[in-house]
Amino acid sequence: MTKYRIDMQKCPSCGKENDAISSVDEGATSEPGDIIICLYCGHVMAIADDGKTFRKLTNREMCDIAGDGQILALQRARAKVMKKHKQ
């Protein structure tokens, strides 16, 4: 897993502060347009063109990731982690 520091910002859905993103692909780079998921609430968004902030998905991006196996697996794993974290 690769971790990147970003400027502190809030998830547009839950408002939790985030200052890092992680990639499940070892050695991956953080690029504008990469799809990201809020660890706290599961909101799906993208890295903005500045490479340091979040943006809403475009309609095309939403269609492209609908039913994506990797996104679904990450959402399931995120939900399990957060369920244990809340206990």
**Number of domains present in the structure of the chain:** 1
Tokens of 50: 């500045």
Question: Which domain range does residue 30 map to?
Answer: 2-86
Task: Identify the sign of the CA torsion 58, 61, 66, 70.
Answer: negative
d(CA 19, CA 54): 11
Q: What's the DSSP call for residue 1? A: -
pTM for this model (two decimals): 0.81
> Smallest Cα–Cα separation from 4: which of 24, 44, 15, 85?
24
Q: Do 43 and 14 meet the contact criterion of CB atoms below 8 Å apart?
A: yes
Q: Do 32 and 50 meet the contact criterion of CB atoms below 8 Å apart?
A: yes
| Digit-coded pLDDT (tens) for 15-52 | 999 888 877 777 677 789 989 899 889 999 998 998 87
Average pLDDT score, the chain? 86
d(CA 34, CA 47): 5
